[in-house]
Amino acid sequence: MNFIIDPEYLTSITIVTDHIKSLPEDEQLIQKLKGHSYTSVRSIDHPEFSKLREQLGTDGFIKIERGWWNGDVVKKPFSINGAKFKKNEAFHGGSAIKYTIDSKLKKK
């Protein structure tokens, strides 16, 4: 089975959250005047890649590991955009999978 995804979706998205906005307005001002910052930065897979990953999991092509990044494992062979994935191979997250696919296609 060959799955197709636009290469622009083979990435992660950075999310910056400003937690100071959850404080009451007067407390926000006080914290800003004190120079305090309550932001966090995290990355998630692009939503279109997440859809593909979920489909692969539902269809039994990969075992999805939700406990840590890049823990998914291929359960039965398939390809993405022509790049072949073999049984028991690691299946990486959105930002790393682009390099995996590129590497596989160069070896063809």
Number of domains in the chain: 1
Q: Which residue has the higher pLDDT, 25 or 46?
A: 46
Q: How confident is the model at residue 87 (pLDDT cuts 50, 70, 90)?
A: very high
Q: Residue 85 — pLDDT band, cuts 50, 70, 90?
A: very high
Amino acid letter for position 87: K
Domain of 57, in residue numbers: 2-107
Residue 49 has phi, psi (to 5 degrees) of -70, -40
Q: Are 105 and 98 in contact (CB under 8 A)?
A: no
Q: Are strands 83-85 and 62-63 parallel, antiparallel or unpaired?
A: unpaired
**Each residue's pLDDT tens digit, 37-72:** 778 888 889 999 999 999 999 999 999 998 777 789
Q: Model-level pTM greater than 0.85?
A: no
